[in-house]
Structure 1
Amino acid sequence: MSESPSFTALTRLLRRLPGVGPRSSQRIAYDLLMRKRELMPALAMALQAAHEHIRSCSRCNNLCEAELCAICSDTQRQRELLCVVESPVDLAAIEESGAYGGDYFVLMGHLSPLDGIGPEDLHIDRFTARLAEPGLREVIFATNSTLEGEATAQFLAGYVPAGVRSSRIARGIPMGGELEYVDRGTLGRALLGRRDLEE
């Protein structure tokens, strides 16, 4: 099948997806062609529809199909809280936890000079516009616990107005984790970020 231009084009496109290497792209392509051929037109239509209709929320930068996403349109959210995340996937993970009821701002990345991603790529204009909205009490930086994520949080904290609290999500031992299997850095951050036991 390697001589087929259509098959080669398909596998090359699949390889551009995260986590899909040369072998995985071939397996997916073969599976679609041999077992799930009927899925291909529907998949193509869904991709086309997503390309045409999904855009960024004008307020928080999350992906949506309207001017405002469902979270920004929800009048029950705690508008005084703003959680800054790197991607819509991170937003979804926090929402699934059920532990947060405020607003979000989605950066669509993190600072990474080596990859050519600078402050202008993080939608600073939308971020500062959101920070200027009245009633904001706290900005929670929930960027990833990587060098880039930490640098991004530190950089953006400089934009938070005086009188508004800046905080960072806690990091440490995962629920059910055993200390002997936790890396040194995580264990150190868990000790530094310790808190009082609740009564």
Structure 2
Amino acid sequence: MNLRCAAMQKLIQADLYGITDAPHSRGRSTMEVAASMLAAGITVIQYREKDKSQRQKFAECQILRDMTRQAGALFIVNDHPDLALLTAADGVHIGQDDYPPGEVRKLIGPDMILGLSTHAPVEAQQAQQEDVVDYIGVGPLFATRTKRDVCQPVGWDYLDYVVHNIRLPFVAIGGIKMHNIREVASRGARTIALVTEITGAGDIAVMVRNLRQQLKN
């Protein structure tokens, strides 16, 4: 099994997809929050920091790459294929306004996984047809305050569409909390990304345990 297939197997098997977010981490460092997520058994960490310098992002990603490797977890970099390459990440995740997926695939090569945020059926269809994207983000399902340029919530209709019409693996994201994660899962989402619910938790281990209890129920 090649590196990309092995990474995708790990992503598909993940229940929770962790994303860093310094402004909503209660003053804790990105490394401290990531360490808590890894200790709680989260097996996918995406580095998503919008307001730091490239030098700081590089330094943090170097540390996170070592941490995730030691924990046997995936390390994915948001937005920056160059940063993913420089730090030997397992993957990169891009948005609709970033470089075209086909061009990013040429840059990162065949071994790194590529994720793409989608917000509408046409975007999911195009990602599937282009055959260079490994998984898609589906959302934001609900209103979210973690991104300044976020689109309007896509709601249940788009999630239902992807579940029934798209073959690509997907990660549900956007405004997912303790009170709604159970319904997100019941509609077919197997891997679910939460940002502030985890990074802003007083005790991340307890939060992850409680979220998983909701998924079991």
Q: Normalization by structure 2: what TM-score?
A: 0.29
Q: Normalization by structure 1: what TM-score?
A: 0.31
Of structures 1 and 2, the one scoring higher in RCO (CA 8 A, sep 6+) is 2
Highest CA radius of gyration, 1 or 2? 1
